[in-house]
């Protein structure tokens, strides 16, 4: 029966957020796949909580579960990518500036891993071929004994009276090679997971630094507004006290001016009476109609001069300051909610 193999593109196994091969791939309700750590961080930082590709809203209660199918396909992709590189024994000439045609099997920032993996593979293959060589006949063994887990020649196998279960060496070689590449892929997968965790920690550190700087900037701005509000309230209090003092001082000066006018009238009358007191003739007094007449004046005995009262001005200024502070805090809350 023929088996149809579907060759998937390399982009199907790459996360668009970290631009690397999937690590614990998860699928959103919209159908797009991402690394679990990448999409969790994106959803936590995104104010709209939406897919970074199609912008479809994602419910925060949606549980992100690792897609086992995509995860297995990713491992198979890594294995197949490694086998293609191992089977390609011909050197490929690459001109400077031309991108490599090999499938991306490692992070862009660590290209030496690919060479390390290739070196380990070549050493393993060399040891495997050396183990297949028969020390007695100096040629490669053709069968593999499952009982003793060693390679033996077919002639040695036929002449031996031992009852062993054997398989062709080529078949066992392919099995070992596949196991080798799977193990290498898993190791590389574990390395990527740890580099992703380091990247996540560094990103969180950077975000915290930015958040701290933004918080300090906002704090300085709002407290500057609060201090300015308090200064305005202080100036308002001083202005009210000075205005009340000016009004009261104007009233006092008006009373003083009126009293000075009455004093002038009384002094003139007093001078007249002093002059009359020096005359000893009755005829002089006959010309004066009323010696007891006093210039008209105001009765100041009923007038009370009260001191200036400033009671309540401080409370009024404080209430005004509290209203302004509440308005500043309300505006800041609205801006924070809008962001």
C-alpha angle 105-108-111 in degrees, rounded to nearest 5: 70
Domain membership of residue 13 as a residue range: 1-87
What local confidence, expressed as pLDDT, does residue 118 receive? 56
User: Does residue 171 sit within a domain?
Assistant: no
User: Does residue 249 sit within a domain?
Assistant: no
User: Does residue 7 sit within a domain?
Assistant: yes
Q: For the chain, what is the mean pLDDT?
A: 73
pLDDT digits (tens, 9 = 90+) for 191-213: 888 998 999 999 999 999 998 99
**Residue 47 C-beta-side C-alpha neighbours within 13 Å:** 4
**Number of structural domains found in the chain:** 1
What local confidence, expressed as pLDDT, does residue 287 receive? 62
Ramachandran sector of residue 152 (left: φ over 0; alpha: ψ -120 to 50; beta: rest): beta
pLDDT digits (tens, 9 = 90+) for 84-109: 544 444 443 333 333 343 444 444 44
User: Does residue 327 sit within a domain?
Assistant: no
pLDDT digits (tens, 9 = 90+) for 159-184: 454 444 555 556 666 777 788 888 88
User: Does residue 230 sit within a domain?
Assistant: no
CA 325/CA 332 separation, integer angstroms: 11
Q: Are strands 150-152 and 143-145 parallel, antiparallel or unpaired?
A: antiparallel
User: Does residue 209 sit within a domain?
Assistant: no
Of the chain, the percentage scoring pLDDT greater than 90 comes to: 11
Average pLDDT over residues 318-337: 85
pLDDT digits (tens, 9 = 90+) for 10-35: 667 888 888 888 888 999 988 889 99
Domain with 43 in it: what CATH number? 3.30.40.10
Most confident of 63-72, 98-107, 235-244, 304-313: 235-244
User: Does residue 239 sit within a domain?
Assistant: no
User: Does residue 40 sit within a domain?
Assistant: yes
């Amino acid at each position: 029966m023929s088996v149809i193999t579907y060759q998937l593109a390399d982009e199907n196994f790459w996360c668009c957020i970290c631009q690397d091969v999937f690590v614990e791939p998860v699928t959103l309700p919209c159908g797009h796949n991402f690394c679990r750590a990448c999409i969790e961080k994106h959803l936590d930082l995104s104010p709209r909580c939406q897919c970074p590709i199609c912008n479809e809203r994602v419910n925060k209660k949606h549980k992100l579960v690792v897609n086992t199918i995509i995860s297995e396909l990713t491992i198979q992709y890594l294995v197949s990518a490694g086998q293609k590189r191992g089977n390609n024994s011909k050197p490929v000439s690459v001109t400077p500036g031309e991108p490599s045609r090999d499938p991306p099997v490692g992070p862009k920032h660590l290209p030496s891993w690919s060479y390390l993996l290739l070196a380990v593979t070549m050493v393993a293959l060399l040891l495997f071929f050396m183990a297949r060589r028969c020390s007695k006949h100096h040629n490669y063994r053709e069968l593999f004994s499952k009982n003793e887990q060693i390679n033996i020649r077919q002639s040695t196998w036929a002449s031996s009276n031992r009852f062993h279960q054997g398989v062709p060496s080529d078949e066992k070689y392919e099995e070992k090679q596949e196991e080798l590449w799977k193990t290498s892929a898993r190791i590389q997968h574990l390395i990527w997971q740890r580099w992703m965790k380091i990247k996540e920690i560094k990103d969180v550190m950077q975000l915290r630094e930015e958040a701290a700087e933004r918080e300090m900037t906002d704090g300085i701005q709002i407290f500057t507004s609060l201090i300015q509000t308090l200064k305005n309230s202080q100036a308002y209090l001083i202005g009210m006290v000075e205005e009340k003092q000016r009004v009261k001082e104007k009233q006092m000066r008006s009373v003083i001016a009126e009293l000075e006018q009455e004093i002038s009238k009384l002094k003139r009358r007093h001078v007249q009476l002093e002059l009359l007191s020096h005359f000893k003739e009755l005829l002089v007094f006959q010309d004066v109609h009323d010696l007891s007449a006093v210039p008209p004046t105001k009765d100041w005995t009923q007038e009370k001069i009260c001191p200036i009262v400033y009671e309540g001005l401080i409370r009024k200024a404080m209430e005004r300051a509290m209203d302004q502070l509440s308005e500043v805090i309300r505006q800041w809350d609205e801006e924070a909610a809008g962001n």
